[in-house]
Structure 1
Amino acid sequence: MSEVTIYHNPACGTSRAVLARLREAGLAPRVVPYLEQPPGREELRGLIARMGVPVRAVLRRKGTPYDALGLDDPSLGDEALLDAMLAHPVLIERPIVATPRGVRLCRPKERVEEVL
């Protein structure tokens, strides 16, 4: 199993650029097409914890049902936000890269350098 994982959307230019950078660095990452194979609750919660960011920081708004689901409501707790991301994986911002050096939401794409 690879020590490097990218939660990837091949339709996303940033995600493709980060995957290319990982490969340029000589890595053979495990590529998780998260829209088809979303992480489970504990895996997603663990990734967010390792990033050291609030759950809300991993929510994607553009091109998602974010507004329709009322996810801008500040009273929604982490569990409700996780529920929404698990039901609609498109709400998970991408790409997320996990390496032995840490986990980062690589947006902008240059953030991948922090975990190489």
Structure 2
Amino acid sequence: MSEYTIYHNPRCSKSRQTLELLKENGVEPKIVEYLKNPPSASELKKVLKLLGFEPQQLMRKKEAEYKEAGLDNDALSTDEQIKLMVAYPKVIERPVVFSADKAAVGRPPENVLELI
């Protein structure tokens, strides 16, 4: 079985539910509190590729930081968006669970069951 990682925010109920669901199914993921330890641009690119997402698809558009960072600017390149996601990790959707070859967003938490 592959090793799983979760970008986790312990204050988020969906993130806590997703982590609990993984554990109930025998998965002990590596927990990354991404607000304290944001992913690097290369890590974020890898996760986006595994999800098959463009950066905007992994953003929390209702967060104040989304507009503050200028992420609502359609002229930003993919690399610029990723750099801003690293600088403003609060805009990254949560939770994200991934392994070496697949990923899912835990909204709803049951989405991650397809990984295991």
**Superposed pair shares fold, TM > 0.5:** yes
Q: CA deviation at 1:102?
A: 1.2
The number of residues matched between the two structures is 115
1:36 paired with 2:36, answer yes
The answer to whether the aligner puts 1:108 opposite 2:108 as a matched pair is yes
| Range with greater deviation from structure 2 (5-14 or 106-115) | 106-115
Q: Sequence identity, in percent?
A: 38
Following TM superposition, by how much is the alpha carbon of 1:70 offset from its aligned partner in structure 2, in angstroms? 2.7
For structure 2, which runs of at least 5 residues remain unmatched after alignment?
none
- 1:101 touches 1:115 (CA, 8 Å); kept in 2? no
Alpha carbons 1:64, 1:90 under 8 Å: kept: no
Structure-2-length-normalised TM-score: 0.91
Query: Relative to structure 2, which stretch is displaced further, 96-105 or 2-11?
Result: 96-105
The CA RMSD over aligned residues, in Å, is 1.5
Q: How does 1:1-116 map to 2 (within 5 A)?
A: 3-99=3-99, 102-116=102-116
Q: Which aligned segments of 4 or more residues in structure 1 are displaced greater than 6 angstroms?
A: none
Greater CA deviation, 86-95 or 96-105?
Answer: 96-105
Instruction: Name the CA distance, whole Å, in 2 between partners of 1:87 and 1:100.
Output: 24
Cα distance change on mapping 1:44 and 1:101 into 2, 3 Å = closer
Q: Distance in 1 between matches of 2:39 and 2:15?
A: 17
SS at match of 1:67: helix
What whole-Å deviation, never above 9, does each CA across 1:53-100 have from its counterpart, x for those lacking one? Answer: 111111112334112233122221111111111111111111000135
Q: What residue identity is the alignment partner of 2:45?
A: R
Q: Return the structure number with greater helix share.
A: 2
Taking the aligned partners of 1:65 and 1:44, their CA distance within structure 2 comes to: 18
Distance apart, 1:101 and its partner CA:
5.9
